[in-house]
Amino acid sequence: MASAAHDVKILLKGLVSSSSQGLQEIDLQERFHLIKELGSGGHGSVLLVEDKETNQKMALKIMEKKRTSKRQFLIEFSLSSYLSSHPNIIRSFDMAFKTQDHFVFGLEAAPVGDLSSIIVRNVGLPEDNVKRCAMQISSALEFIAEKGLVHMDIKCKNILVFDQECHCVKITDFGLTGMKGTVIRSKSGSTSYRAPEMCELTGQEELAVDSTLDVWSFGVLLYCLITGKFPWKVATDKDKRFSRFVAWQNNHCDDPPASWNKLPTCLQRMFGCLLAVDYSQRSKPTEVLCYMEESWKTDSTYSTD
């Protein structure tokens, strides 16, 4: 894995260098028809546009220069390009440029949106849809890990959907992605998806980035898809639902917490692997493949308790 990370580091350095030299300034309104905004975040937005030259529809990720350095932009663009060969990672077009105030690169557009837009609150998604998502996302995460990389922000909003039955879903947004082994000192990713070792990080502590962080987030995401709600707000002792989960996992209590007891026993075992509090005991994302023949939902799964 160290060799893979080293090779990727060298490759990305070359991609960043070559992309930097060809970064032209383009007028967005002259080149594209704006269709609608697909989403926005702390560093910019994503727009659905049509290229006036080719009539091709695409998504443009637009990042404000005042909040994003040129190097940060080029790294994210290079990572997107490098990883987009996987069928369940969003395809990046060979199109990166700048405007007066923004950095921009092109991506394929997802016609349905992201997973958060189709989850039914307190119900989730149909079982077959969840299993399709699980298989595809686990494959993409395994691919990312094999490259010595960690996504660092796996969540429903970062899984794009190409059909209502989830036959095709793809991971997107590599703005927080880092090399395995990189040391960080501040929290990263969305609060409810963070692993406990990330949640406990303080300014005086360090955490080595590892693919087990993505596995934890993947586990939380699957719980959301199955139940239509989060298992907890934050993975710390201050959260009662998380504390009860930890006590159960550590065999301090025989019966699962109420919300987990509604899941089939096989899924309780699966989540015990994906959401192992001790990161060294966490499984690979492909652990989900061992449970595809089992039932993932029961009538009680849909309870709103």
Catalytic residue among 51, 94, 153, 214: 153
Q: How far apart are CA 204 and CA 156, in angstroms?
A: 31
Its sign, for the CA torsion 286, 287, 288, 293, is: positive
Could you tell me which residues are annotated as the binding site? 61
Q: Find tokens 């998502």 and name the residue.
A: 133
Helix (H, G, I), strand (E, B) or coil at 184: strand
Q: H helices within 147-239, ranges in order?
A: 196-199, 212-227
Among residues 266, 296, 299, 302, the alpha carbon closest in space to that of 127 is found at 296
Q: How far apart are CA 3 and CA 83, in angstroms?
A: 17
Helix or strand holding residue 64 (H, E): strand 57-64
CA distances from 256 to 152, 245, 283, 290 (A): 29, 7, 20, 22
Q: Are strands 32-41 and 44-51 parallel, antiparallel or unpaired?
A: antiparallel
Could you tell me which residues are annotated as the binding site for ATP? 61
Q: Are strands 92-98 and 207-208 parallel, antiparallel or unpaired?
A: unpaired
**What secondary structure letter does DSSP report for 61?**
E
Check if the beta carbon of residue 188 is closer than 8 Å to that of residue 177: no
Catalytic residue check, 278:
no
**Catalytic center residues:** 153
